[in-house]
Amino acid sequence: MIAEAQAPSRPHVSVEIERALVACLVVYGAQALQYVQTRLDPEDFGEPVHRKIYEAVCQCVTEGKPVTPAMLRTVLDAEHEVAPELSFGRYIIRLVSEATTLVNASAYADQVADFARRRRLKAVHDRYASALADPHGGNAQALAREMQAEIDAITTSRRGDEALARVRIGKAAQKAVETANAARAGDTPPPGIPVGVKRLDDMLGGGLHQQKLYIVSGRPGMGKTTVGLSLALSAAKHRQGVYFVSLEMSGDELSRRALACMAYDARRKPLTYNRITWARDLEDEEIWRLNDAATMLNDLPIQIEQEPGLGMAQIATRAHVAKQQLARQGFPLGVIIIDHLGLIKADDRYRGNRVHEIAEMTGSLKNLSRTLDCAVVLLSQLNREAEKRDNKRPQLSDLRDSGSIEQDADVILGLYREAYYLKRDAEAGDADAAMRLPEVERQLEITILKQRNGETGRVLAFCDIGCNVITGLSE
């Protein structure tokens, strides 16, 4: 039963604001709904009657029916009572008389959404309060993880301030021309975040771009993490903030790889991340190089998320926090890198159905790239089909559960190191493999398997896996 306007609102439910919003929807129909649907789900309404009216408006618009009081009474069943002596029909007539201007719709929707989040946060608090008060109420760390997962899901619910507004093509085209003129005049930096391999940058239109989802794929041993960290370092050197979600390695492991890369000197003894880990045979000069590398890394805007087993809601929430932290340091969030797809925790809704799980993840990451206005790089493992072929270079069909990955990705890169297979064959006694191995030992093939707005093709790069270094062959 709906509360009357004179009665006090229940905690975290504003009857007045909800009534003003549904009144606006009843009067303006689809015109108001376009400002509301990106902000609210039906369950965000605290009053059941307002939830039913909102669902009825959505149904009318979806079915192409006019949103009129008469149509809504039909959809809602006019005989049903909202309150004693007040039917849906009479209540809708009252709403029409109370409707305010259309410009208030989005503000009302944001307030209703905020109240809904408050109710969910209060519910999480209440559910865990008794367990937290009871010393035998469960493991504190496990409770914290469960609470964090629920809070993350709330904070990544619909956000009106991040909704992408509709735009006329002419206006968008004019903006593109203005951007091009500014870049031509040298008033703005060139588009894209350089990846550190010039030929690949050229093929990608200047490097990584905002609002794009990049998939870096390869079999184990092909250098996915090496490429991911190389992209992170290159972006950070160009003063772009990086949020690196490392679901496989700890921050310490990743930092040793970064140190090996920053301390790399082709004229000196290789300082691999394995040697840095072992450390006992390091010479004084190498320790100095590591100190210099650490100083350079300290100035780079890279944040490492090292907690394993994160789901998409948690990754998205923490990415928003990382963006704010980087902004306070004076850096825009340029790139999110996730290592890797197979280790993202599946949502309970699709657990067990891998195709739907992958679709949910890649779709969410694509949306995240747009809402945070950054590039998202997702590392992904190829299936075993490549191992069965004589030519083991990656193909799109090698992507695990590739349908949604191909659909959502703007760019898909495939990695291949011939040396990985030659070394294996040489150890098995293949003389030809042993002869060819030195020639390709430090080569990495990066193939653009898909590019939505550009060319495909293959780039040959220099790669020292042990030192985590990737550059163009001619650089």
18: CATH: 1.10.860.10
203 shares a domain with 146: no
Report pLDDT for 411: 94
Asked if residue 410 and residue 351 are part of one domain, the reply reads: yes
Residue 443 included in any domain: yes
* Mean pLDDT estimate for the chain: 81
Minimum mean pLDDT among 343-352, 387-396, 429-438: which range? 343-352
pLDDT at 375: 95
| pLDDT band of 391, cuts 50, 70, 90 | confident
Q: Tell me whether residue 86 is in a domain.
A: yes
Among candidate residues 142, 163, 184, the one where a domain is terminated: 163
Instruction: Let me know if residue 169 belongs to a domain.
Output: no
- What is each CA distance from 3 to 14, 48, 82, in whole angstroms? 10, 11, 10
The pLDDT, as a whole number, for residue 12 is 72
Note whether 211 and 155 are same-domain residues: no
CA 355 → CA 247, 352, 385, 411, distances in Å?
A: 21, 9, 18, 20
pLDDT of residue 303: 92
Residues 199 and 117 in one domain: no
Shared domain for 82 and 225, answered yes or no, is: no
CATH of the domain at 404: 3.40.50.300
Measured CA to CA, the distance from residue 438 to residue 25 in angstroms comes to 71
- Is 372 inside a domain boundary? yes
The whole-angstrom separation of Cα 394 and Cα 399 is: 9
* Residue 272 contacts residue 467 (beta carbons within 8 Å): yes
Q: Which helix (H) or strand (E) holds 218?
A: strand 213-218
Q: Across residues 75-94, what is the average pLDDT?
A: 59
- Cα–chain center distance at 184: 31
CA distances from 137 to 4, 142, 143, 148 (A): 41, 11, 9, 17
Kindly state whether residues 146 and 244 are assigned to the same domain.
Answer: no
Asked if 467 and 324 sit in the same domain, the reply is: yes
* Spatial CA neighbour of 474 closest among 464, 465, 461, 463: 461
Specify whether 96 is located in the same domain as 230: no
Domain endpoint, select from 163, 178, 210: 163
Number of domains in the chain: 2
Model pLDDT, residue 214: 96
Residue 200 domain flag: yes
Q: What is the pLDDT of residue 236?
A: 93
Q: Which residue has the higher pLDDT, 263 or 78?
A: 263
pLDDT for res 5:
41
User: Which pLDDT score, from 0 to 100, does residue 333 have?
Assistant: 94
Per-residue confidence band for 162, with pLDDT thresholds at 50, 70 and 90: very low
In this prediction, residue 155 has a pLDDT band, given cuts at 50, 70 and 90, of low
Residues 55 and 132 in one domain: yes
Report the pLDDT averaged over residues 175-204: 80
Q: Same domain for 142 and 276? A: no
Q: What's residue 430's pLDDT?
A: 85
Give the range with max mean pLDDT: 137-146, 339-348, 455-464.
455-464
* Band of pLDDT at residue 8, cut at 50, 70 and 90: very low
Residue 168, in any domain of the structure? no
Task: For residue 59, give its domain range.
Answer: 1-163
Q: Give the model's confidence band at 189: pLDDT under 50 very low, under 70 low, under 90 confident, else very high.
A: low
Is 316 inside a domain boundary?
yes
* Per-residue pLDDT reduced to its tens digit, 47-66: 888 888 888 888 777 777 77
pLDDT at 109 over 80: yes
Asked which of 72-76, 227-231, 417-421 is least confident by mean pLDDT, the reply is 72-76
Q: What percent of the chain has pLDDT over 70?
A: 83
**Mean pLDDT within 263-289:** 85
* Tokens representing residue 88 in the block: 């849906």
Q: Are residues 135 and 39 in the same domain?
A: yes
Among the residue ranges 8-12, 88-92, 446-450, the one predicted with the least confidence is 8-12
Confidence class for position 165, pLDDT limits 50, 70, 90: low
The answer to whether residue 145 sits within a structural domain is yes
Q: Is the pLDDT of residue 241 over 70?
A: yes
Based on the fold, state whether residues 409 and 363 are members of the same structural domain: yes
Using a pLDDT cut of 90, give the percent of the chain over it. 19
pLDDT at 100: 66
Residues 6+ positions from 76 with CB-CB distance below 8 Å: 52, 53, 56, 88, 92
User: Looking at the predicted structure, is the pLDDT value of residue 204 above 70?
Assistant: yes
H-run or E-run covering 336: strand 333-339
Query: Does residue 291 or residue 360 have the better pLDDT?
Result: 291
